[in-house]
């Protein structure tokens, strides 16, 4: 499976991750997360492959997260409700989201990217 990088071009951490991956010679398919967020089923597979709590997939510093009051709502939401919400709005997803559906990284941490995706 090819590496997919869900990115937002106005996001600084996305630009850093894209630059890092390009400099390391890692080929990936760039997908605009706002215009083409992962579907609910894609998110389910990515989340299950990640081994992370589903909450970790939320962009907690985003405007929509705050406007929707998700800090208070997430603890009582079901996994299905969370997946529906994430799939409905790419800005709610922590980014960059990079996956080959076996491995997953969220956010930009060069050491984590190196460990997960390798490099030169």
Task: Summarize pLDDT for 75-97 with one digit per residue, the tens.
Answer: 999 999 999 999 999 999 999 99
The per-residue pLDDT for 119 is 72
pLDDT score of 68 more than 80: yes
> Cα–Cα distance between 27 and 61 in angstroms, integer?
29
Which domains are delineated in the chain?
Answer: 4-117 (3.40.30.10)
Confidence of residue 1 (pLDDT cuts 50, 70, 90): low
Higher pLDDT among residues 62 and 1, named by residue: 62
Q: For residue 44, what pLDDT is reported? A: 97
Q: Which residues contact 44 (CB under 8 A, 6 or more apart)?
A: 83
């Amino acid at each position: 499976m090819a590496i997919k990088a869900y990115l937002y071009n106005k996001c600084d951490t996305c630009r850093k991750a894209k630059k890092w991956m390009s400099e390391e010679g890692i080929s990936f398919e760039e997908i605009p997360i706002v215009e083409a967020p992962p579907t609910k089923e894609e998110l389910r597979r990515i989340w299950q492959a990640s081994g992370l709590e589903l909450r970790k997939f939320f962009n907690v510093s985003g405007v929509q997260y705050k406007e929707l009051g998700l800090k208070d709502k997430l603890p009582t939401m079901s996994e299905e409700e969370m997946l529906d919400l994430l799939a409905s709005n790419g800005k709610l997803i922590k980014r960059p989201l990079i996956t080959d559906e076996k491995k997953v990284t969220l956010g930009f941490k060069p050491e984590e990217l190196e460990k997960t995706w390798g490099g030169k």
